[in-house]
Amino acid sequence: MNFAISNLLPVLPEVFVLTMACVILIADLLIRQSGRMATYLLVQLTLLGCSLIIVGTHENGVVYAFHDMVVDDLMSDVLKLLTCLALSMMLVYSRQYLTARDLFTGEFMVLVLFALLGMMVMISANHFLTLYLGLELLSLSLYTIVALQRDSSVAIEASMKYFVLGALASSLLLYGMSMLYGATGALQLSVVSQAIQSGAADKNLLVFGLVFMVSGLAFKLGVVPFHMWVPDVYQGAPTAITMLIGSAPKLAAFAFAARILAEGLQPLVQHWSGMLIILAIASMALGNISAIAQTNLKRMFAYSTITHMGFLLLGLLSGNTEGYGASMFYVVVYALMSLGAFGMIMLLSRADGFEADTLNDFKGLSRRSPWLAFLMLLLMFSMAGVPPTVGFYAKFSVLNAVVQAGHIWLAVVAVLFSLIGAFYYLRIVKLMYFDAPESHAAITFEQDTVLLMSANGLGVLLLGLLPSKLMSVCAVAVQQSLLLH
């Protein structure tokens, strides 16, 4: 195949991000700590540029590159755009917080860009090796970012746990991939799928490989019983970094799961959907019930993440386009809510190192700042899935797919666990509105943070009133991308 610059078009966003990451890495050496704002702006510009390139190079249909190693389709474009947006929001939210804790460094921002690159590779992968490559790039960046706060033993412990368990998960995934390779002789998703469909592959080997793959995936998503790292990492990492872990990578994780299960292993759907049912129910049960017992907000959100990921699996396991579309919608909505919730913790945290990460710190917020309390109320009701916030539509579309797939009992179970979940979200509202504040310290914040927070909170409401656009974007993206193979 002749090399032509046009062959690079589908991966131009990735190329751009990589280049910019390297440039910023060098440029940052020349910038003093006081001028860190310049680095920050450069990173924001990179994210903007990357988004523009994604939009500019968008083509209808599915485009492959590098011998079908990567794919550029509507789903990847939408998810990459949202990833850029999520990271950009994360940076705005965390600027003040990180500055106060001496974490607003060039390394942090370069690592964020590398994590972004990893996510983009994951989202666009069409080959087991590319998938793995992207995942490792993301994971290694995240391990390092968690450990950035060198003098905090909690953060180091969290990073260690994350690394050891993450490495285990990666090896499970690799092991599964090698088995599938042994059975089908292929690593490229569509070829794997065809090989399985032809019936020539050894069934036992396939199912063993599948089990390893699903376990690895479950580890990365943080669903029960592979969830042990989630609460510790969420609590141990500085809030800005928890936000980083809890938002954009979930988008990539969805793409990862969808590509493997819905594309590569679609012929084995009746095998993996059974496994996902168990994982989903266990996650919703354990996540919701454990979250009730938490007093630390970050830990509570960690358990709530476990639950949300269980819900995400519900959409995937229905095994139809509606289900995948619903899952994608769910994960996008989840990322939005999670950004807002962690953003709020950071807004309330103070420059002197005070962390507003316990439930008591939210007591009486409606008296200290009615507007912030109202935004948090919207976010919490959205997480609980109460209409007219967008969280309801996310849950609704997933339940819809589950009922359509014929698992009405599963929908009932999911609904009952959501009810338990509503309790601890409601408790935050209760603390904010019904209780007297413990501290009367003024809440100081930058204008841009509050603007973004308002947009985020009201966005949850507006998307709830007019959810149809985002829903159909997700549905169309999945339809165009996953079924064409």
Partner 1 sequence: MIHESNLLSLLIFLPVLGAAIIGLAPRNDGWSRWIALAFTLLVFVVSLPLWFSFDTASHEMQFVTRVSWIPAFNINYAVGVDGISVLLVLLTTLITPLCVLCSWKAIDTRVKEYMMALLVMEAALIGVFVSLDLFLFFVFWEAELIPMFLIIGVWGGQRRVYAALKFFLYTMTGSLPMLVAILALYYTGGETFDIRELSKGAYSATFQFWVFWAFFLAFAIKVPMFPFHTWLPDAHVEAPTAGSVMLASVMLKLGTYGFLRFSLPMAPDASHAFAPIILALSLIAIIWGSYMALVQTDLKKLVAYSSVGHMGFVTLGIFVFNSQGIEGAILQMVNHGITTGALFLCVGIIYERTHSRLILDCSGLRMTVPIYVTLLAIFSFASFGLPGTNSFVGEFLVLVGTFKSNLLAGAISIGGVVLTVAYMLWMLQRIVWGEHSREEGVVVADLNGREIATLVPLLVLVFWIGFNPEPFLDRIRASVKHVVSEMSSVRGVNNIEGHNDVVHPPLPDRRAQHAVVNTAAADRAPADSCRAPPCQISNWDRKQTL
Residues that bind partner 1 (CB under 8 A): 366, 370, 377, 381, 386-388, 392-393, 396-397, 399-400, 403-404, 408, 411-412, 415-416, 418-419, 422-423, 426, 429-430, 433-435, 467-468, 471-472, 475
Taking CB atoms within 8 Å and a gap of at least 24, the contacts of 217-221 are 217/173, 217/256, 217/257, 217/260, 217/261, 218/279, 219/165, 219/166, 219/168, 219/169, 219/172, 220/135, 220/166, 220/169, 220/173, 220/253, 220/256, 221/253, 221/257, 221/309, 221/312, 221/313
Nearer to partner 1 by Cβ, of 168 and 450: the residue is 450
Q: Which is nearer to partner 1, 99 or 404 (CB)?
A: 404
| Nearest of 236, 27, 25, 244 to residue 119 by alpha carbon | 244
| Closer to partner 1 by Cβ: residue 146 or 414 | 414
| Smallest separation, CB 382 to partner 1 (Å) | 11
C-beta closer to partner 1: residue 264 or 364: 364
Give Cβ neighbours of residue 258 (< 8 Å, ≥ 6 apart): 75, 316, 324, 327, 328, 478, 482
Partners of 316 in beta bridges: none
Report in angstroms how near the CB of residue 421 gets to partner 1 at its nearest.
Answer: 10
Q: Is the peptide bond before 225 cis (omega within 30 degrees of 0)?
A: yes
Question: What backbone phi and psi angles, to 5 degrees, belong to 64?
Answer: -105, 155
Nearer to partner 1 among residue 244 and residue 394 (C-beta): 394
Longest CA span, the chain: 70
Q: 225 or 370: whose CB is closer to partner 1?
A: 370
Cα–Cα distance for residue pair 137/140, rounded to 1 Å: 5
CB of 225 to partner 1, least distance (A): 26
State how far the Cα of 144 lies from the Cα of 167, in Å rounded to an integer: 13
Q: Write down the least CB distance from residue 351 to partner 1, Å.
A: 28
Residue 450 identity (one-letter amino acid): V
Q: Which residue, 303 or 433, is less far from partner 1 as judged by CB?
A: 433
- Considering Cα of 213, then 85, then 230, then 414, what sign does the dihedral take? negative
- The burial of 3, by beta-carbon neighbours within 10 Å (0-12 exposed, 13-18 middle, 19 or more buried), is given as exposed
